[in-house]
């Protein structure tokens, strides 16, 4: 069974530039999560999708972050414009149901200079 795929693995940009991350969840998983993990902190949920609907985006900085999950499968997370404090690992995870075990991708490490 293929796991959760994410790209790019690494990205270095300058502040005020834009960046987009892509995630392909495990086939059949209805729930998709985007997490931000800053060094020394626990994962912070940015957005949770159930199929193609948003169920929780309360911690998504909506002035600069956006995410979509068209057709309830792949998802993209965009940051525009990036700030220095956005430097983090962005993890995508999926689960069969909203309370089930999470399967994580390898993450996308963003460095904002």
Partner 1 sequence: ILNVEQSPQSLHVQEGDSTNFTCSFPSSNFYALHWYRWETAKSPEALFVMTLNGDEKKKGRISATLNTKEGYSYLYIKGSQPEDSATYLCASHNAGNNRKLIWGLGTSLAVNP
Q: Which residues bind partner 1 (CB under 8 A)?
A: 3-4, 40-45, 48, 50, 55-56, 91, 93, 98-107
In this complex, which beta carbon is closest to partner 1, that of residue 105 or of residue 112? Answer: 105
Whether residue 108 contacts residue 7, with contact meaning beta carbons closer than 8 Å, is answered with: yes
CB 43, min distance to partner 1, A: 5
Whether residue 43 contacts residue 91, with contact meaning beta carbons closer than 8 Å, is answered with: yes
In this complex, which beta carbon is closest to partner 1, that of residue 35 or of residue 82? Answer: 35
In this complex, which beta carbon is closest to partner 1, that of residue 48 or of residue 82? Answer: 48
Take residue 51 and report the two structure tokens written for it: 């199929």
In this complex, which beta carbon is closest to partner 1, that of residue 59 or of residue 80? Answer: 59
CB 16, min distance to partner 1, A: 29
Residues 6+ apart with CB under 8 A from 99: none
CB 58, min distance to partner 1, A: 9
Take residue 7 and report the two structure tokens written for it: 């790209």
The CA-atom distances, in angstroms, between 71 and each of 30, 75, 104 are: 11, 9, 20
């Amino acid at each position: 069974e293929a796991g959760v795929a994410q790209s790019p693995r690494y990205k270095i940009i300058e502040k005020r530039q834009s960046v987009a991350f892509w995630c392909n969840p495990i086939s059949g998983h209805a729930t998709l999560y985007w997490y931000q993990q800053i060094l020394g902190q626990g994962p912070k949920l940015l957005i949770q999708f159930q199929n193609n609907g948003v169920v929780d985006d309360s911690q998504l900085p909506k002035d600069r972050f956006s995410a979509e999950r068209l057709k309830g499968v792949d998802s993209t997370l965009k940051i525009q414009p990036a700030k220095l404090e956005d430097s983090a690992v962005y993890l995508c995870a999926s689960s069969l149901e909203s309370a089930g075990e999470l399967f994580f991708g390898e993450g996308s490490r963003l460095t904002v200079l």
